[in-house]
Amino acid sequence: MYIYKILLTLLMGIIAVRSSNVERVDDSDLIHMLTGEGDVVALFTKLGNCAECVEYEEILANVQEELKQTLGVSVVQAYDSNLIHIYDPSREPALLYFRRGIPILYHGDLNAEEILHFFSDNREPAVKELSDDNFEHLTQASTGATTGDWFIFFNSAECVLCQRLFAVWESVAGKLKRKINVARVNALAAGVSTAKRFHVQETPAFILLRQGKLYRYTVKDYTVTSFIDFAEGGYSKNTHPEIVPPLSGLMDEISVKQILEYINSYGILPLAFVGTFTFIILILILRSILKSSQKSPKTKKNK
């Protein structure tokens, strides 16, 4: 009987340990979860000698039930996943919260309470989307940034590093929430004119608009800590302020790219018609001028 009780206690302990472990998934399972309707908290770790990975796993195991109850999420762990390179340019371990597919990288102290608070405070994406249509209206950049400071990430679909920084940038926005507006602009699509205005030649590019001045983030340290340090005061040490470029004129907005997009949408026939009509008008005006110049004024003969 005594041995039976010992075995029963050991069995219950094993069951308890297993129930506290985080569910492990492979990349195909994780992709299926991320493309579904539910939100997911995923821990990316690597096999082998990684003490920090073990620490993350233990903390997440302790807080996973609270995360499930508070946020209504699935909590999983992926070992040596290829997906980590899509969401974080650094390395494992990395803890991400996917909100309807939009990831945010956890940044904070490694304890259960801090993790729960960070994710609970960022249940909605904090990065604002800016474009040529709303940039000046929202930022008031040319009038002295009356809507507050703006930290802006210029990205493009062709930039692989830009895609990897989306979760990092969401973390920056989560940390600077209620202090600084954090936004992003597609420099080769909806924000092409804005990128041209701020002389953005390549992506990723980052600028801080503060009290009518422009500060460029020029270091290659793309971590949450480095971005936050820059936005909260490092800009005054690492870069020189520039005058915010004025809004471009109407003719500056007419670019070859826009003309090509128009042709792709409507074909060349409308432009050809306008061009032909304009040419005919110019010919008629020119003929009228030539006729007028050829007519010499009549003079009266003296008797």
**What is the model's pTM?**
0.76
CA gap 126, 176 in Å, rounded = 9
Q: How far is CA 70 from the centre of its chain?
A: 27
pLDDT of residue 61: 97
Higher pLDDT, 14 or 200: 200
pLDDT of residue 85: 87
Tell whether the model's pLDDT for residue 102 goes beyond 60: yes
Q: Could you tell me which residues come within 8 angstroms of residue 108 by beta carbon, excluding any fewer than 6 positions away?
A: 114, 115, 118
Please state the rounded mean pLDDT for residues 130-140: 95
pLDDT of residue 145: 56
Domains 9-121 and 128-251 share a fold: yes
pLDDT of residue 17: 38
pLDDT of residue 265: 63
For the domain covering 128-251, report its CATH number: 3.40.30.10
Please state the rounded mean pLDDT for residues 35-64: 94
Do the beta carbons of residue 176 and residue 233 sit within 8 Å? no
Do the beta carbons of residue 96 and residue 88 sit within 8 Å? yes
In the chain, domain spans: 9-121, 128-251
Mean pLDDT over the full length of the chain: 85
pLDDT of residue 5: 43
CB count in 10 Å sphere of residue 302: 4
Higher pLDDT, 12 or 154: 154
Q: Which CATH class is domain 9-121?
A: alpha beta
CA gap 219, 230 in Å, rounded = 10
211-220 per-position pLDDT tens digit: 889 999 999 9
Higher pLDDT, 262 or 50: 50
Structure tokens at 47: 């096999």
Confidence of residue 282 (pLDDT cuts 50, 70, 90): confident
- Per DSSP, what are the bridge partners of residue 205? 154
pLDDT of residue 273: 58
SS3 97: strand
Confidence of residue 300 (pLDDT cuts 50, 70, 90): very low
Written as one string, the DSSP assignment of 48-88 is SS-HHHHHHHHHHHHHHHHHHHHH--EEEEEES-TTHHHH-
171-205 per-position pLDDT tens digit: 999 999 999 999 999 999 999 999 999 999 999 99
Q: What is the CA radius of gyration of the chain?
A: 30
CA gap 22, 9 in Å, rounded = 22
CA gap 108, 103 in Å, rounded = 16
Confidence of residue 15 (pLDDT cuts 50, 70, 90): very low
Q: What angle do CA 144, 146, 149 make, to 5 degrees?
A: 85
